[in-house]
Structure 1
Amino acid sequence: MASSSSLSASNEYFEYRFIHKINPLDYDNFLKSQEKLRAKVKNYQGYISEDLPLLVEEGETLVFETILRFDTPENCIRWIDSKERRELLYALENKGYQFQGKANFESYNQWIKQSVSNPSPLWKINLLVLLVLYPTVMLFNLLLKKPSFLDFPTWMLFGNFCSVAITGWFAVPWVSRLYHQWLEGKGTKKEQLLALISIFFTLFIVLQIFRHIPLRFW
């Protein structure tokens, strides 16, 4: 397993964070299932590492956190959506096990960084990710409603799957090419300022559009 320091230094990985909620009586079964999952995921293309379950909250329900690392969003999604993983989780879900996943916002940085030749300030990269991530998540919630046969954790996983796929494969690479000059600090000060203004203006327009959609559609 790669160390956290080496991973941070390379920044060439994609993180997916899982929150697990289990009954204390199912603690042993949960740990066994995680061991089985780790044994399976190691055989998947692009796998880097997975943190052991970390207890973050105690009580009537135990809350654990794990972080999964792959080299690309595509390979991570293939594992998350795999038949092998679903079969291993099925038995736990029938006992009340709940989980939700969330892509690490910072993990998108590497795909933008790889598309530019000069180092880019972190705030610029995060701003571009926000530019595509916000409308993606909003449109998903607007256009798709949770089917009655799906539980909330599964629906959240599906939502994150869609957001990661759209932003990681299409939106982030596209917007990084569009703002290539701005990311690298090229051009005049006026051109740099206009690019920044256009980003904030686009976010403002998108915000106003979603604000004016009638409440019944949400």
Structure 2
Amino acid sequence: MTSSSSLPQPSDEYFEYRFIHRINPLAYDNFLQSQEKLRTQAKNYPGYISENFPILVEEGETLVFETILRFDTPEHCINWIDSKERRELLYGVENNGYQFKGEANFESYTRWIKQSVSNPSPVWKINLLVLLVLYPTVMLFNLLLKKPSSIDFPTWMLFGNFCSVAITGWFAVPWVSRLYQKWLEDKGTKKEQLLALISIFLALFILLQIFRHIPLSFW
């Protein structure tokens, strides 16, 4: 298997979206053809960087492949994922039993936080802020929206991840990085740094208690 001819830019300059594909071994050739069509269409969209050739990660009655899509920004990535052309290409292969799910690469969020601050930040601080926005986003999506019976699970998972990427990439991650910029850049007094850290853990604790006390019937 070969990789895409488009080479990724340095790691801080692109946004990754990871797909897991589940297919019947008999549909392998059709799967590769559909992926090549998707890659060709994606190249026409602004911000496209690359998408690797499907990598086999699990064999058996169902073949499991992984692909990673790279765009220069979350916005450009979302525009392609939700495009009419992509939905039309996927509609045909889904009817033949093809299943997939997508998720944003956790590290992609940390890159956007890194870009919003002027001084290098410890990885643990960046990851903690990503957790602060991803946790409530995913929990609220599962709480407020229920899968309609007319939509298959892989499509619903893609929709859920699309919403999470849109909310975190466009609003939550930029907002929280600005809010905690001094803490990320180790500016201010030790007391201010400590208070910022406490506020993050306190916010996560409060969110945990809120979601814990929601009746199971709502989930």
CA distance in 1, matches of 2:116, 2:92: 42
Say yes or no: does 1:132 pair with 2:138: no
CA distance in 2, matches of 1:93, 1:115: 39
Say yes or no: does 1:89 pair with 2:94: no
CA distance in 1, matches of 2:162, 2:208: 23
Q: Which residue pairs with 2:27 in the alignment? A: 26
- 8 Å contact 2:70–2:77 — kept in the other structure? yes
Give the total of aligned pairs: 215
CA distance in 2, matches of 1:173, 1:89: 31
TM-score, length basis structure 1: 0.96
Q: Which residue pairs with 1:71 in the alignment? A: 72
- Percent identity, please: 83
SS, match of residue 11 in structure 1: helix
Offset of residue 3 of structure 1: 3.7
CA distance in 2, matches of 1:59, 1:98: 15
Q: Which residue pairs with 1:146 in the alignment? A: 147
Q: Which residue pairs with 1:185 in the alignment? A: 186
Cα displacement string for residues 161-180 of structure 1 (whole angstroms, at most 9, x for unaligned residues): 00000011001111111101
> Which consecutive segments of 4 or more residues in structure 1 shift more than 6 A?
none
Q: Which residue pairs with 1:172 in the alignment? A: 173
SS, match of residue 102 in structure 1: strand
Offset of residue 59 of structure 1: 0.8
Offset of residue 2 of structure 1: 4.2
Say yes or no: does 1:62 pair with 2:63: yes
CA distance in 1, matches of 2:185, 2:27: 51
Q: Specify the code of the residue in structure 2 equivalent to 1:204.
A: F
SS, match of residue 124 in structure 1: helix
CA distance in 2, matches of 1:16, 1:36: 18
Aligned CA-pair RMSD = 1.0
Unaligned runs of at least 5 residues, structure 2? none
Cα displacement string for residues 101-125 of structure 1 (whole angstroms, at most 9, x for unaligned residues): 0100110122211211111111111
Q: Which residue pairs with 2:161 in the alignment? A: 160
Say yes or no: does 1:98 pair with 2:126: no
Cα displacement string for residues 171-203 of structure 1 (whole angstroms, at most 9, x for unaligned residues): 111111110100000011111111001100100
